[in-house]
Structure 1
Amino acid sequence: MDLSTQQQLDAYRKMSMIRAFEDRLHKENATGAIPGFIHLYAGEEAIAVGMCENLTRADKIASTHRGHGHCIAKGCDVRGMMLEIYGRKEGLCHGKGGSMHIADLAVGMLGANGIVGGGPPLAIGAALTSKYRKDGSVAVSFTGDGGSNHGFTLEALNMAVVLQLPMVFVFENNGMGEATGADFAIGSKDIASRAGSFGMPSATVDGTDFFDMYSASKEAVTRAREGGGPSVIEATAVRFYGHFEGDPGLYRTPDQLAELKETKDPLVHFRARTRDRISAEDLDAIDAENVALVDAAVAEAQEAALPDLSDVDADVYVSY
């Protein structure tokens, strides 16, 4: 592993921030203060961070409806994200996008997406732009196991190969599309194997292990950046909360969920992999700092101003 101790600490800081952010939103959503739907990323932190630690600010990512983790991993401002989720004027999208549509082009975050499977075609556009400009950047799409079955996802896979684009398709297989098991809905029983039919390499990794995800992502990103074309990564993990906030989650028993949290926690796995290099006290301090930062963001968001009614039609059309 080519990561220094500091780089490993930075990666844990991002995973820990995602967890603190999502856990707090789970509590806040129950108060009724947050408008719109929320889909939490807790349990999948190592996927987003493992990939994005291989990306630069110039690289682009396209996300899903479960996008908070991707945003944080790519460098979006946590304060701005929280303000956006609360629908406030100073949010990253001026309070108009909410949880499912957070975007920040300044850091290469093309946006979360309420359309299941909508990310791959958008990332294709970014990858084609990179190839045309010859700027060396890479595009990455994050898609769930449910989105892997959508027609435009498969079309994007084919187009990436035909045009030999600098692109990585990450499929986050958390075992269920909403409440339908992936083992039922995916005929081939694994997503990565589909890549071969399109003519591109693939890898299946443990998405709860940051180091496994980081290594596979590094190989795929390097291949894309050096002109080797697109790749697929299937990362298996579990989500700790329901499909959306308010989902009763009747497809998992409390005992099953407790076991998953005990055995499939990316933060716990990271601690186990680094115990000979990084102290538990250092990681505990990072956790506490992140909780405090999220607390401050929530407090600010609760008191921040809503968008002005006069701005309702602003940012709708592009001006040239």
Structure 2
Amino acid sequence: MNSEMSATKNSEQMNSITGLKKMWEIRIFEELIQELFDAGELYGTMHLCIGQEATAVGGAGILKQSDWIVSTHRNHGHCIAKGTDIRGMFAEMLGKKTGTNQGKGGSMHIADLDVGNLGSNGIVGAGFPIAAGAALSAQMQGTDQVVLCYAGDGATNEGSFHEALNLASIWQLPVVYFIENNQYGMSSSIEQMVNIDKLSDRATSYGIEGITIDGNDLALVSKTVADAVAKARSGKGPTLIEALTYRHKGHSKSDKLMYRTEAECRHWQKYNDPIVRLETELIQSKQMTPDEIRQLEDSIRKEFTAIVASVKQDEEPTIADLYTHVYAEENR
């Protein structure tokens, strides 16, 4: 995301065409990562966010560059939406020295402080207190920064969720907690894990606003997040947003999807794919033609394929690199 976009779109809904481009960037990134893994060129685990692109773009995509995000193990979309360098992300996934973390973090630990990406976390629920701490620092230093904290539905059953929301509430911290409810925590349906209809109802316990929205409606997501960010920036405290969405792929690379039916997957993919929905809206409103949309998709795919080919030639970390970034360097 360029700086001009970041400067102009705060507190505004995401432009539909810009949003579609960014969602296609996320999906094609994920598809290429899947291809690399299937070809044996990518090691370690990964968690794809195909089907959840609107929550990333409508959330992180409307922030100022100086604002922060805290992400999860399913993080690629959030990072791309916030402006993290895509080439650096591919390099990180392939373990190259040119990666965002110099090839040491892999899929679940991508960070980019230059664009306000405080990093992803492989520990479920760990982002809640990190976001509260970052928001507290912004409050104490008198900046107008806001933290957008992503988490999955399963994370709301962790103790860190309740502790962080309580602190954020009593201190009125500039943080927005954004729950991507993709219906399953690993292999368990959210309906089996909680005894409430809406996860956003939990906000009531801490005296903050809770909202449940359609997480596959890009305009609605961006409007809801923009309102919550403006509220936090003005000193009126946190908001808990629950965005209903669906991941098309399994929890991680080894998930055989035995816990949900093919009919359920097909229904979400046919009627609730956020990209298909937005494309339909753009065509019906005559903002884009089907040919223009396919040209957009093709151009991104060609660009990213070329990036992957280039990254494969990058330098590999050395044995000596294992001993760097272990301890903080002492200022002398």
TM-score of the pair, normalised by structure 1 = 0.96
Q: Which among 80, 85, 94 is matched to residue 77 of structure 1?
A: 85
Q: Which amino acid aligns with 1:143?
A: A
CA distance in 1, matches of 2:170, 2:98: 42
Give the distance between the partners of 2:64 and 2:322, measured in 1 at CA.
34
- TM-score, scaled to structure 2: 0.92
Partner residue in 2 for 1:250: 258
Question: Please, which of 119, 123, 126 is the counterpart of residue 115 of structure 1?
Answer: 123
Which residue of 197, 203, 218 maps to 1:195?
203
Aligned to 1:294: 304
- 1:53 to partner: Cα distance: 2.9
- Which residue is 2:161 aligned to? 153
Deviation of the 1:40 alpha carbon:
0.1
Structure 1: which amino acid aligns with 2:249? Answer: Y
1:54–1:221 Cα contact (<8 Å) kept: no
Deviation at residue 283 of structure 1 after TM alignment: 2.4
2:235 is the alignment partner of 1:207: no
> Contact conserved, 1:124 with 1:167, CA < 8 A, in 2?
yes
Among 172, 178, 202, the residue aligned to 1:164 = 172
Which residue identity lines up with residue 295 of structure 2 in the other structure?
A: A
* Counterpart residue identity of residue 321, structure 2: D
User: Greater shift after overlay, 188-197 or 272-281?
Assistant: 272-281
Contact 1:182 1:189 in 2 (8 A): no
The equivalent residue for 1:23 is 31
Aligned residue pairs total 318
Q: What is the SS of the residue equivalent to 2:312?
A: helix
Question: Alpha-carbon deviation of 1:66?
Answer: 0.3
Structure 1, 292-301 or 71-80: larger mean CA deviation: 292-301
CA distance, structure 1, for counterparts of residue 13 and residue 131 of structure 2 = 27
Q: Which moved more, 1:101-110 or 1:183-192?
A: 183-192
Query: Partners of 1:230 and 1:302 in 2: how far apart?
Result: 43
Deviation digits for residues 162-205 of structure 1 (CA, Å, limit 9, x no counterpart): 11100000000000000000011122232100001100011111
Q: Which amino acid aligns with 2:229?
A: V
**Contact residue 62 and residue 109 of structure 1 kept, 8 A:** yes
- Provide the C-alpha distance between the structure 1 equivalents of 2:181 and 2:280, rounded to a whole number of angstroms: 23
Aligned mates of 2:124, 2:97 — CA distance in 1: 27
- The one-letter code matched in structure 2 to 1:294 is F
Residue 150 to residue 235, structure 1, CA distance change in 2 (3 Å): same
Report the CA distance between 1:263 and its aligned residue.
Answer: 1.2
Q: Is contact 2:12-2:62 (8 Å) kept? A: no
Mapping 1:9-48, distance limit 5 Å: 9-48=17-56
Structure 1 stretch displaced more, 198-207 or 270-279? 270-279
> Against the structure 1 CA distance between its residues 284 and 119, is the aligned structure 2 distance closer, same or farther, given a 3 Å change threshold?
same
Which of 132, 137, 146 pairs up with 1:129? 137
Residue 309 of structure 1 aligns with which residue? 319
In structure 2, distance between residues paired with 1:2 and 1:131: 23
Tell me if 1:278 matches 2:294: no
Task: Answer yes or no: is 1:52 the counterpart of 2:60.
Answer: yes
After TM superposition, give the deviation of residue 3 of structure 1 in Å: 4.8
Listed as ranges, the gaps of 5+ residues in structure 1 are none
1:249-280 CA distance string (max 9 Å, x none): 11123333222211110001112233314213
**Aligned match of 1:104:** 112
Shift of 1:297: 2.3
CA distance in 1, matches of 2:127, 2:304: 27
The one-letter code of the counterpart of 2:316 is L
Amino acid at match of 1:278: Q
Q: Deviations over 1:257-313 (max 9, x none)?
A: 222211110001112233314213332222112111221222123232211111112
Q: Matches of 1:200 and 1:227 in 2, distance apart?
A: 13
Work out the CA distance in 1 between the residues paired with 2:287 and 2:236.
36
Structure 2 stretches of 5 or more lacking a match? Answer: 1-10
CA contact (8 A) 1:166 1:230 kept: yes
Is the CA contact 1:136–1:225 (under 8 Å) kept in the aligned structure 2? yes
C-alpha distance after superposition, 1:41-71 (max 9, x if no partner)? 1100000110123211100000000000000
